Structure 1
Amino acid sequence: MSFTKLSTSALAILAISATAAAARDEIRRVGSSTVFPYTQAVAEQFANKTSFPSPIVESTGTGGGMQIFCGGIGEDFADITGASRAMKASEYELCVSNGVTDITEAQIGSDGLSMAISRDNDFDWDLSLAEIYLALGAQVPVDGEWADNPYTSWAQIDARLPDVAIEVLGPPPTSGTRDAFVELAMNVGCEELDFVKDGGFDGDWVEENCSRMRTDGPFIEAGENDNLIVQRLQSDPNAMGIFGYSFVFENLDTLKAVKIDGVEPEMDTIADGSYPVSRPLFFYIKNAHRGVIPGFEEFLEEYMSEDALAPGGYLSERGLVALSDERRDELRERVANSVNMPAKQ
């Protein structure tokens, strides 16, 4: 399938921006640390198959990538950004305010937000979302009141858990992984607490009161580089980490996943939704740079190929959970035709 067709709006912007954008020879990708290894793998394939320069692939976090991507059109601004959540309305508004108005949204597959621990830790970890919230939430129920989190060991949360200090390394607020973890694990876990269920608190209360990670030590912001979290877990048998499934998948020799509500993150459990903390993964294309940045169309064609995206493709070998055949065909058609995403509300 050809990837050279451009929308009318993209062509119009190209006429304006061609001079500014053409000065850069390399494709530039920013964004999510979770999507980073997938784009890096595509970049390697692209560089090996073509004579174009190897793309610049940066891990800036989802939020940081959106700021760069939406900053404007031209050589100073990225062509593509990876995201471990959908673009927010405020980010879309930033794009529009800077003239980035023709964007294609591409969901490349799914991922399971995982907690993992060293294989040197011999406990069979299985946590409920409520227990995860009690370990990491800034405030929790204490003697019938909503108060600062007093828990310092897992055994204080439930006697069946080991009496070891709570130490969980995770992403910073700029990360899409952090956003997704708060929404899918923290908020849902908070809703499962008897204090919240019996108190009749609604979703707005939960979002306002259950979205802050504690800052008194047990939760440690470890930056955007998930490989550093992996290294820390490998050296500390009682520390846990939060990251995308691919980082567990790629380090199964030294790490093991923590089950959540009895379900382990695996390709099948993420794909069928039985793993409770699953999410879609995206990248966003700046259509004004298509046909201007050398090799951009060919790079997108490689990214959309069955070799990359199909079950058993080289991205699934790195932990990406593939879309269905029908959804991959729809995705490929949307990217090929530079379909502009709808405005975010």
Structure 2
Amino acid sequence: MNRILKTTVIAAAVMGVVGVAQARDQVRIVGSSTVYPFSSYVAEEFGATTDYPTPVIESTGSGGGARLFCNGVGEGTPDITNSSRRMKASELERCIENGVTDVTEAFIGYDGIAFAQSNANDPMPVTREQIFLAVAAMVPVDGELVENPYTNWSEIDESLPDRQIVIVGPPTTSGTRDAFEELVLEAASENFAEAYGGEAYSDVRTDGAWVDGGENDNLIVQRLTQDTTAFGIFGFSFLEENSDVLIGSTIDGVEAGPETIASGEYPVARSMFFYIKNQHADEVPAMYQYAEMFMSEQMIGDLGYLKGIGLIPAAEQARAEAREAVANRVQLDVSDLH
């Protein structure tokens, strides 16, 4: 055998070994802590009812998950990332730069962002404007923008209790944080448009009134049971799961609930997704079967299992369209995200 032919045969053999090494039965998932309980439920069901092992899921936050997902294709990169907000155009652009060129978006339903406290307290209704004045780094006082001076809720509005402002919320890698900044801070800053030069404002104060609670929403819940002066910001599903120890605030006069979130009446509601790396389909054959189970009526429908643990189902037509997009492996384009 000549040297060139021999080298070619060896290279082909090595590639064959690598191909086998890359193929795996277990789906790898990263992403949102809010979507994590829903994804985990599907994963356990998938492991129990198919010949494949239970998928491995890591709660990294929506932003952290997108970074891992978009790092590239192949061994060592996730197959799916969960997100409690839509993927950003900049994230998909980074995916494409790193060779992740074929991604399908799966819309699974809705969740709301709760503003909650220990049920040892009386209910405290709030407006988005009041939350903004408690959280924003710079606020208007007498027509001037100053560093946030408010230390007690009663300083913001005398109808609020004389109670220290302590808000435990998600970190910047969290989709819940992204949604909170957009739906509460940016929306409320429009009421002070002149002070901010007509620009939306969402910078969070760093003087201790806001406390990063980490990616695990259960830790925020635990903190609220220990510190009854604090409020927490997390997905509605966690409030529902812990209704024996927590109470939510109405926001702008609307209580968070399945009906108000699904209808959009509750002002802090958001959509939830997961994203599929289609280029892993050959190496990870279980990936699509898991995705199809997740998108089934049994899981995300009006009578689906996930509704029982806090998912707010989308309308029947929206579910059908989302299911079809996954079944047809519809490729997400950057233009879809603008």
TM norm structure 1: 0.89
* CA–CA distance in structure 1, aligned partners of residues 282 and 306 of structure 2: 26
Q: Which residue of 2 aligns with 1:191?
A: 190
The size of the alignment, in residue pairs, is: 321
Read off the aligned partner of 1:329 and give its amino acid letter: A
Q: Which residue of 2 aligns with 1:81?
A: 81
Which structure has more relative contact order (CA 8 Å, sep 6+)? It is 1
Q: Which residue of 2 aligns with 1:293?
A: 284
% identical aligned pairs: 50
* CA–CA distance in structure 1, aligned partners of residues 21 and 235 of structure 2: 33
Moved more, 290-299 or 54-63: 290-299
Unaligned runs of 5+ in 2: 1-14
Moved more, 229-238 or 292-301: 292-301
Q: Which residue of 1 aligns with 2:4?
A: none
Deviation, 1:200, is 8.5
Q: Which residue of 1 aligns with 2:267?
A: 276
RMSD value, Cα: 1.7
* CA–CA distance in structure 2, aligned partners of residues 335 and 148 of structure 1: 47
Matches within 5 A, 1:293-332: 293-332=284-323
**1:254 aligned onto 2:245:** yes
Q: Which residue of 2 aligns with 1:178?
A: 177
8 Å contact from structure 1 (residues 20, 75) kept in 2? no
* CA–CA distance in structure 1, aligned partners of residues 135 and 67 of structure 2: 28
**1:128 aligned onto 2:119:** no
**1:167 aligned onto 2:158:** no
CA deviations on 1:169-220 (whole Å, 9 max, x unpaired) are: 0011111111110011011112124xx35x5942xx22xxx21100001100
Q: Which residue of 2 aligns with 1:111?
A: 111
8 Å contact from structure 2 (residues 23, 283) kept in 1? no
* CA–CA distance in structure 2, aligned partners of residues 217 and 267 of structure 1: 33
3-state DSSP of counterpart to 1:34: coil
2:326 to 307, 312, 335: 335
Q: Structure 1 residues 229 and 200, CA, compared in 2 at 3 Å: closer, same or farther? A: closer
Matches within 5 A, 1:183-262: 183-193=182-192, 196=193, 201-202=197-198, 205-206=199-200, 210-262=201-253
Q: Which residue of 2 aligns with 1:140?
A: 139
* CA–CA distance in structure 2, aligned partners of residues 248 and 221 of structure 1: 18
Deviation, 1:107, is 1.1
Q: Structure 1 residues 21 and 138, CA, compared in 2 at 3 Å: closer, same or farther? A: farther
Q: Which residue of 1 aligns with 2:53?
A: 53
Read off the aligned partner of 1:230 and give its amino acid letter: V
* CA–CA distance in structure 1, aligned partners of residues 23 and 104 of structure 2: 23
Q: Which residue of 2 aligns with 1:151?
A: 150
3-state DSSP of counterpart to 2:334: coil
Which is higher, the Rg of structure 1 or of structure 2? 2
CA deviations on 1:239-291 (whole Å, 9 max, x unpaired) are: 11001111101111111111101111100000111101111111100011124
3-state DSSP of counterpart to 1:152: coil
8 Å contact from structure 1 (residues 138, 212) kept in 2? yes
* CA–CA distance in structure 2, aligned partners of residues 328 and 89 of structure 1: 23
